[in-house]
Chains A and B, each alone.
Chain A
C-alpha cells in the first residue's frame, strides 16, 4: 500500500470520532478536558463557538457523537458527551462579557431572517458581530421555534432556552414577534440585502383512516405539543394511544402522563429494531411505564355515538433476511384497543404556503425548495435556507450547522464574493511531550463504566408539566465521566525515518493496534495485523518504508485508546503524541480573511 497521507485535514479529523460525527464539529475532547480542570466557563465558551446552545444541547441534543465515540467500541458504552456539555453549562459563570458584540457602526447591510428557531438565531449570532443588521420575523409571540413549542419543558426548561436565546437577541437582533411572513414576494421587495429562511418543517403528517374526521379527540403530535406548551391544552383522557415511535411520539406519550393519562400506549408498526426514537428517549418513556406495543398497524378509528372509543389494528408478522432487514410481512390477526385520545406522531413535513411559486425559488417534486448543500443558497440569488426548512426535519445541531454555513454564504454574497470559495478546514498539531515521562494530558485508561444520569423520583415528576426530569451530573459523576474520554484528539504521529524497529511500541500497545509488517496489498497487510480489523470504516495508517528492513508500520485507528505509551516507550521519538486542533472556519474567519486580502491589495496598489 502507498503511505497514508496524513497531511491535510481529513485524516486526523476523522480520528476524533465524536468531532467528526458532530454536524457542527464541536471540539469534544478539549471541552471535556476543560471540565476535568474545573474550567466550566471555558468549556462552555468552546462549545458555544461551534454549537451555540450548549445548555440546550447539553440536554436534548440528538448526540450523533455518542454512537461514534471510540470508547463505545473499546468497551460497550460511549462517553456521556452530551451530559458533560450540560455540566459545563450548569457550572459556568456569567459569560455575557465574553460574548461577541456588534461593532459600534453597522456595515450597512440588512438581513431578513424568517422564523426565530435555532437556525435563524445561529445566522444572527454569526453575522451581528460583523456589523450586519439582522431582522428576525417570527410568527409566534416568543422565539425558539420547536425547541420552545415542541420539546417539552420536562426535558428542556424554559429558563435555559430564554437565557441562551437572550445571548443572541441581546447582541442586537431586531426581533419582530407575532410577525408572520405571508408573502416571500413582498419580503423580497423590502430593503434587505439577503434573506434567510429558517421557518422549519411545521406540518405534522396526517393518517387518513375511517373515522378520522368524526371526532375531535385525534390530535396531530407537533400541533398538540405546541398547544400544551402554550397552555391551550391542559388535560387528556385516561387512555391514550400514540401512533408512531419516533422522538415526537416519546414526547407525546410522556406529556400525556403529565396531563393526567393513566394508560398510555405507543403503537408501533414494526419491531423494536426499527424504532426511530433514540434509545435514551425510549428508555426514559419506559421508565415512566409507557407501554410500547410492536407489530400493530393502524386500520381504523372506532367511533360510537360520535365519540372516539378505540382503534383497530392489523397485527403484522415479519420475516427478516440475514442482515435483519424485513423481507416479507403478513397480517395474522386484528386487535382493538380502547382509548379516549389518539395522538398521531408519524412524521413532519415542510410547508411553504407563503413562498409564491414563479419568483425564482424552485421546488422539487416533493415540494421542497432546491437548496445547495454547501452554500445553502436557493435557486434565487440572495435567498438562503437552513434548518428543517432546507432539507426537511433533522435536529437542532444540524440546524445550527446550517446556520453557520449560511452565515458564511450571506457574508460572501453581501461582499460580492464567490460563495463556493470558502476557507478550508485545517488541523494544527503540537507535540504533547512535556518532559521525561510527562505528557500534557491525562493519558491513563480508567476502566470506570458510564455514569447514569440521576432522575427526579417517579412519584414526584408528574405533578407539574415542567419538572425537569434529568437532574444533571453531580460533581462526582462529572469527575468520573471526564476520565472516560480517551483524548482522541491526541494524535499518534509517526516519523518512519526515526524507527529502529525495536518493537517497543508494538509490545506496549494495550490494544494491540500496531503492527510492523512487509508491505503488500491491503488484504495481505490486513491478514498480518496483530488484532483483526473489526471496523473497516476506521482508518488504517500505513507508514513509508522503515530504514532497516523496508517493512512498514501499520496502525489500525479503530481501538487506539490514545494512551501515548507507544510514544512513551519509543527510544527514538518515532512516535509522538501531538495535540490536534481542528480549525473550523466561521463567518468571522471569512471576514478577517477578506480584510487581510483587502490590506494586501491596498499595499500592493
Chain B
C-alpha cells in the first residue's frame, strides 16, 4: 500500500520555538496540488516563517479566494482560523475580519487570477484602506486551477503550453500596489526561501497592508521554454535589489551591521528589518523612484525582487478610522449594544 500523506514524525533533529512548538505544529493537511508546484514551496516558506516568529497558530486567520494558490491555506497552520471566499472576493472578507478583530494576524493567500483579474477591484480597495494584513499573491501568469489560461499578469510575448502567444500588457501587482499607496511592497520567488522567509516575517509584522508578489511557477501549465514564469526563466531574469533580514524584538541587544550598507527599519512591535542594498542605486523609501526603477528594469526583461518599498509611518484602517482598540468580541454587551435610547439619540443627529 502506498501512502502519499506526509507523516507526522517528531524526530530527534526537530527544534522547538519560543512557544515550545515544532515546525510540524505549523503544518496543515496534505497538498493536493501538482507535484513541483511553486505554491507548495510558498506554503513551506509560510510554515517556516510563522514557526520562526513563534506566532500562536490559533491567532492567525487565513484568507483566500479561488485558485490553486487559494487552496493552499488548507496545507499550512491546521490549527488556525480560515475563510475561503468566492473568486476574487477575499479582500472584502478580510476587511470585515480586520474590522471585527484587530488582534488576529490576517494572512491572505491569493493568485494572480484571483487578485488581478476577477478580484482587481477588491484588491485595490484593500490596499487603499491599508488593511493590517499580509497579502501574498502566488503569481504564475495563468489560471492554474482552470487549466492554464493566461491571467492578467501574463507578460507580452509569453506563450501558453499549447503555443498561443499573449499580446496584452500585464498588470504588475508591485507597481499597482505602490501606485495605490501600499505601505509594504515586495517581490520574491517560490524557489528562493532565503529571500522569501524573512519577507514573510517582515510582512506579518508590518502594521498595514503588506503585499508580497511571489513568482510561483505552475509546473503543469506554465513551466515550458517559451514561458516567462517558468522556474528557469525566473531564475535567469530575477535580480534582487534589496535583501531583507528580519530581527525579532530583542530588548537590550544591539544588532551589529555595517553603517552605510545596511538600512535598519524599526517596526511597530520593535522588531527590525535590516535592508541590505544589493543594488546601489535603489531606494526603498521613495515611491516614485522605486516605481521608475522597476519599470526601467522591466523593459530590459529583468524581474526586480526584494523588499521594494516600505513605509512604517502610515496609519492602517483602524488608525484612519479611530476605531476602538479592542476586538469587537471582547467588548461588553452594553458597549456593543448601547440600547434603544442611544440609538434614538444617534438617529436624531441625522434628522
Contacts and interface: CB of A to CB of B under 8 A. Distances in A.
B4 A500 contact: no
Given A437-B2, A510-B6, A511-B13, A503 B35 contact: no
B182 interface: no
Contact of B9 (A74, A438, A442, A504): A74
Contacts of A532: 13
Contacts of A507: 40-41, 43-44
B208 interface: no
A502 B217 contact: yes
B3 A73 contact: no
Interface in B232-273: 232, 235
B43 A559 contact: no
Contact of B36 (A439, A504, A512, A559): A504
A511 B5 CA distance: 13
Contacts of B4: 437, 565, 568
B341 interface: no
Contacts of A444: 1, 3, 5, 7
Contact of A504 (B3, B8, B13, B41): B41
A549 B231 contact: no
Contacts of A527: none
Contacts of B23: 512
B36 A572 contact: yes
A74 B12 contact: yes
A443 B3 contact: yes
A497 to B, nearest CB: 14
B278 interface: no
A569 interface: yes
Contacts of B190: 502-503
Interface in A486-517: 500-504, 506-508, 510-512
A548 interface: yes
Contacts of A511: 9, 11, 13
A218 interface: no
A437 B43 CA distance: 22
A447 to B, nearest CB: 8
Contact of A500 (B2, B6, B11, B36): B36
Contacts of B14: 512, 531
Interface in B33-65: 34-38, 40-41, 43-44
Contacts of B9: 74, 445, 447, 510-511, 561
B238 to A, nearest CB: 12
A186 B3 CA distance: 65
Interface in A70-99: 73-75
Contact of A502 (B2, B6, B191): B191
A438 B1 CA distance: 8
A548 B232 contact: yes
Most chain A beta carbons < 10 A, residue from B4, B13, B34: B13
Contacts of B226: none
Contacts of A531: 11, 13-14
Contacts of A510: 6-9
B85 interface: no
Interface residues of A, number: 39
A568 B7 contact: no
Nearest to A567: B35
A443 B4 CA distance: 9
Contact of A438 (B2, B6, B13, B35): B2
A471 interface: no
Interface in B1-30: 1-9, 11-14, 23
Given A548-B231, A549-B235, A571-B36, A502 B41 contact: yes
B171 interface: no
Interface in B169-226: 190-191, 193, 217, 219, 223
A383 interface: no
A564 B35 CA distance: 13
Helix, strand, loop or mixed for chain A's interface?
loop
A571 B13 contact: no
Contacts of B219: 500, 502, 571
A443 B7 CA distance: 10
B13 A559 contact: yes
Interface in A417-472: 434, 437-439, 442-445, 447
A513 B251 CA distance: 34
Contacts of B41: 502-504, 507
Contacts of A569: 35-36, 40
Contacts of B2: 434, 437-439, 442-443, 564, 568
Contacts of A572: 36
Nearest to A437: B4
A512 B13 contact: yes
A406 B319 CA distance: 86
Interface in B255-313: none
Contact of B231 (A74, A442, A445, A500): A500
Contacts of B12: 73-74, 534, 559
B126 to A, nearest CB: 28
B193 to A, nearest CB: 7
Most chain B beta carbons < 10 A, residue from A501, A503, A511: A503
A563 interface: yes
A201 interface: no
B36 A508 contact: no
Nearest to B7: A445
A563 B1 CA distance: 12
B40 A504 contact: yes
A382 B44 CA distance: 64
Nearest to A435: B2
A482 interface: no
Nearest to B3: A444
A442 B1 contact: yes
Contact of B191 (A501, A559, A571): A501
B1 A570 contact: no
A328 B19 CA distance: 44
Interface in A540-571: 548-549, 558-559, 561, 563-565, 568-571
Nearest to A532: B13
A381 B235 CA distance: 67
B31 to A, nearest CB: 8
Nearest to B217: A502
A447 B9 CA distance: 8
Contact of B6 (A447, A549, A558, A565): A565
Contacts of A500: 36, 219, 223, 231-232
B11 A568 contact: no
Contacts of A443: 2-3
A540 to B, nearest CB: 14
Nearest to B24: A510
A74 B1 contact: no
Contacts of A512: 13-14, 23
A408 B29 CA distance: 55
A571 B34 contact: yes
Contacts of A438: 2
Contact of A501 (B5, B8, B231): B231
Contacts of B223: 500
A404 to B, nearest CB: 36
Interface in A569-588: 569-572
18 contacts: A74-B12, A443-B3, A447-B8, A500-B223, A500-B231, A501-B231, A502-B36, A502-B190, A503-B190, A503-B193, A504-B41, A511-B13, A512-B23, A531-B13, A532-B13, A568-B35, A569-B36, A571-B34
Given A73-B12, A510-B9, 19 more contacts: A74-B9, A74-B11, A437-B2, A439-B2, A443-B2, A500-B231, A503-B190, A504-B36, A504-B40, A504-B41, A508-B6, A511-B9, A511-B11, A511-B13, A512-B13, A568-B2, A569-B40, A571-B36, A571-B219
The 10 A-B pairs with the shortest beta carbon distances in the complex, nearest first, are: A571-B36, A445-B7, A444-B3, A507-B44, A531-B13, A502-B36, A503-B41, A569-B35, A571-B35, A439-B2
Interface of A: 73-75, 434, 437-439, 442-445, 447, 500-504, 506-508, 510-512, 531-532, 534, 548-549, 558-559, 561, 563-565, 568-572
